[in-house]
Chains A and B, each alone.
Chain A
């Protein structure tokens, strides 16, 4: 729900003088997003906010390094692959949990075995179901077994698998419907910040963990307190930013970000993300509108849409048009595939060849960023294709997509911040319910890439699949997303493309 008012915000930026920011004064970094955070638990709350807070309050065995693209040791000091499905970790011996208990192999074994057991009901099963289990090899040594070779194992270990104290979930009361009441548990991790106070749906206050181990890749926390608030309305977030009630916000709409940047009252940064946008076509005609079964029609659409302009003008400076069904920064994501340039005349020619010299009318489905959908509709209408926009909730749209009822859908995918093609292309083109084409060639190539740990074998397999997808135009990849961050001029903060802001590493200037 948005209650935007351009005139109001233009007036606001022109007429206000920013007061001294309270955040630095009381050593509290106030940040907000538009989502309520439920229970502070990295597994039973499937939100981006909990991924961010997961890194504040907990540690995984490893940490992804955005600069090097490698995995740094975190709770693990080192590791060694024994086979494609077995890896041994040596653990740090100088780590304590927020409750004072000492971290060791028992905690890792408990966490992994808890997650790997489907009966424990972790919502995001794909994040955990690749793990078969863990065994203790010594007080500070564990063995992790995979169900099968899995390319994204370390990405998940870094982003998602946070180590809990042994027996953590055992004390949660279980309701009549079998779900745990996690609000009865005190969030406990080893991370650089610990929960000090929670008011569900309102705020979560974190205090600096003075006992955080030194020498780790997360560094030493400096800011005394970090306070999260849920503020649904972006205008309200900005008002709080400008009055010092907030020090950090993201997902700022482009128009407001531009004005804020001009005002100089806060720091505005546009940073790319791993999320991409795409159009998926009904290539088998199951929706009842059979236009897109013809490859020429799909190619016409590809030439009709000015993806470069949409990326720069509507998304942000860090956004870029893409040709492959993946994000350019992901491992295995070659952009060396056929490129469909913006060429309305060619689009018209192709339509005429396909038997639609006067265009046609079809249903376009979408769920987010209506302004982009409308820009696409505008480009298509210029070549004679009339798109009727159907705007749905994500869950409703996904049902329709998986039932094959959408002629074309405008969707996005964030890859769970994983820098690997397996997190996107393999999800969509291996014959699953989201696969628009069910092409056995892509499924075979992707399976080959997913089950190998040889980088060259993987790259080759993924390039083959991406080439087929681009040639056939099962998808029209549109652009990579970019996010606008707005934060206090007093704050030293560096956004990262993986959309996991390292708030624990922020500092006051």
Chain B
């Protein structure tokens, strides 16, 4: 187990390094960072001064290794746009994104798992059709449109929820639903398919013959096995929501990490971009690892290798 963990960590570091190297190079494709920093009315003198001051006149590999050396000493750099250490800013933005991602995941799972189970119990019934329709609508409806529609009714017409910001739990209701609804179809379909498979299996038939109650049969025996792929999907989706919640964060003006990443690309704030990529890579790796552990707990066969 220790060897397995060490190998995983080594691979994770390698992945993070590769991603950061690629990001560093790709950042230059968005244009000269000096121009982005100096703003629209900059003169050539402004640009030259910035390039020299921030070291953009050095070769890219030299810049990268300079950044890497500082990063290994715990200094992820200084945001050119925000004029402060990037670590401080990421730590300030992380709670909003984590809260949004977590609420969205809870909403998605609370909606999609019961729907998936109910749809599997009665395949081709009205309930099944409703569940499938929900999934199709969720996949077809653009999340920004859904978000704006909610904002219109709940925020403006009825004024029961705040329109923007991230000050209280109420601020997260609409964004979490808008973000969570987007991943609901996938989770619901996977739950439904898993449950259909499991419900047809021999051990379920045996349990049914032994007179196990329907509730116990569904939620103790069947769901535990059917949910294994859902756990992996949920972990990946949570990672996606941390980095990919830009649209929702923008609409509801939640200044989280996704929004910061987008803004940093726009502003060619290279140190900030680098740090965000590192952090998000770390989360992705950690979540995948967590999903493996959870699956091992749910299915002893995985533990046995």
Given A3-B250, A200-B92, check contact A394 B35 (CB 8 Å): yes
A121 to B250, CA, bound (A): 32
Min Cβ gap A352→B in Å is 38
Query: Do residues B43 and A3 form an inter-chain contact, with CB atoms below 8 A?
Result: no
A residues 179-211 in Cβ contact with B at 8 Å: 179-184, 199-202
Query: Do residues A124 and B164 form an inter-chain contact, with CB atoms below 8 A?
Result: no
Q: Which residues in A have their C-beta under 8 angstroms from that of B81?
A: 36, 38, 45
CB-based closest 9 A-B pairs: A395-B31, A396-B31, A183-B84, A395-B35, A3-B144, A46-B39, A39-B83, A38-B82, A126-B43
Query: Do residues B156 and A243 form an inter-chain contact, with CB atoms below 8 A?
Result: yes
Contact partner of B45 among A15, A45, A129, A178, CB < 8 A? Answer: A129
- Among the stretches B110-118, B200-208, B255-263, B284-292, the one at the interface with A is B255-263
A/B interface sample: 12 pairs, CB < 8 A: A1-B262, A121-B53, A125-B49, A126-B43, A175-B77, A177-B70, A201-B93, A243-B155, A393-B30, A394-B36, A397-B31, A398-B32
Min Cβ gap B117→A in Å is 34
Contact partner of B83 among A44, A129, A229, CB < 8 A? Answer: A44
Given A236-B251, A432-B44, check contact A395 B30 (CB 8 Å): yes
Given A8-B149, A393-B31, check contact A46 B253 (CB 8 Å): no
Contact partner of B164 among A44, A236, A242, CB < 8 A? Answer: A236
Q: Which residues in B have their C-beta under 8 angstroms from that of A416?
A: 41
A509 to B92, CA, bound (A): 38
Query: Do residues B35 and A415 form an inter-chain contact, with CB atoms below 8 A?
Result: no
Query: Do residues B35 and A398 form an inter-chain contact, with CB atoms below 8 A?
Result: yes
A436 to B30, CA, bound (A): 23
- Render A37-48 as a binary contact track against B, CB cut-off 8 A, 1 for contact: 011010011110
Min Cβ gap B151→A in Å is 6
Query: Do residues A126 and B70 form an inter-chain contact, with CB atoms below 8 A?
Result: no
Q: Which residues in A have their C-beta under 8 angstroms from that of B156?
A: 12, 16, 239, 242-243
Min Cβ gap A188→B in Å is 16
Query: Do residues B40 and A414 form an inter-chain contact, with CB atoms below 8 A?
Result: yes
Q: Which residues in B have their C-beta under 8 angstroms from that of A175?
A: 75, 77-78, 85
Q: Which residues in A have their C-beta under 8 angstroms from that of B39?
A: 46-47, 123-124
Q: Which residues in A have their C-beta under 8 angstroms from that of B166?
A: 202
Q: Which residues in A have their C-beta under 8 angstroms from that of B93?
A: 201
- Render A281-301 as a binary contact track against B, CB cut-off 8 A, 1 for contact: 000000000000000000000
Known: A1-B246, A46-B39, A176-B70. 8 other contacts (CB 8 A): A39-B83, A45-B83, A201-B92, A201-B255, A201-B260, A233-B253, A239-B152, A396-B30
Give the nearest-CB partner of B29 in chain A.
Answer: A396
- Render A16-57 as a binary contact track against B, CB cut-off 8 A, 1 for contact: 100100000000000000001011010011110000000000
CB of B123 within 8 A of chain A?
Answer: no
Query: Do residues B89 and A200 form an inter-chain contact, with CB atoms below 8 A?
Result: yes
Query: Do residues B157 and A15 form an inter-chain contact, with CB atoms below 8 A?
Result: yes
Query: Do residues A182 and B83 form an inter-chain contact, with CB atoms below 8 A?
Result: yes
CB of B217 within 8 A of chain A?
Answer: no
Given A3-B144, A236-B164, A399-B35, check contact A200 B84 (CB 8 Å): yes
Q: Is the interface of B mostly helix, strand, loop or mixed?
A: helix
Query: Do residues A233 and B250 form an inter-chain contact, with CB atoms below 8 A?
Result: yes
Give the nearest-CB partner of B80 in chain A.
Answer: A179
CB of A268 within 8 A of chain B?
Answer: no
Query: Do residues B151 and A239 form an inter-chain contact, with CB atoms below 8 A?
Result: yes
Query: Do residues A180 and B83 form an inter-chain contact, with CB atoms below 8 A?
Result: yes
Q: Which residues in A have their C-beta under 8 angstroms from that of B45?
A: 125-126, 129
A445 to B138, CA, bound (A): 64
Interface size on A, residues (CB 8 A): 67
A3 to B253, CA, bound (A): 13
Q: Which residues in B have their C-beta under 8 angstroms from that of A201?
A: 82, 89, 92-93, 255, 260
Q: Which residues in B have their C-beta under 8 angstroms from that of A200?
A: 82, 84, 89, 92
Contact partner of B253 among A118, A129, A232, CB < 8 A? Answer: A232
Min Cβ gap B170→A in Å is 13
Q: Which residues in B have their C-beta under 8 angstroms from that of A413?
A: 40-41
Query: Do residues A125 and B43 form an inter-chain contact, with CB atoms below 8 A?
Result: yes
Q: Which residues in B have their C-beta under 8 angstroms from that of A107?
A: none
A159 to B43, CA, bound (A): 17
Give the nearest-CB partner of A183 in chain B.
Answer: B84
Q: Which residues in B have their C-beta under 8 angstroms from that of A433?
A: 44
Given A124-B38, A200-B89, check contact A236 B252 (CB 8 Å): yes
Min Cβ gap B43→A in Å is 4
CB of A438 within 8 A of chain B?
Answer: no
Q: Which residues in A have their C-beta under 8 angstroms from that of B49?
A: 118, 121, 123, 125
B residues 130-189 in Cβ contact with A at 8 Å: 144-145, 147-149, 151-152, 155-157, 159, 162-166
A125 to B84, CA, bound (A): 21
Min Cβ gap B120→A in Å is 35
Give the nearest-CB partner of B45 in chain A.
Answer: A125
Contact partner of A177 among B54, B259, B260, CB < 8 A? Answer: B54
CB of B37 within 8 A of chain A?
Answer: yes
- Render A418-430 as a binary contact track against B, CB cut-off 8 A, 1 for contact: 0000000001000
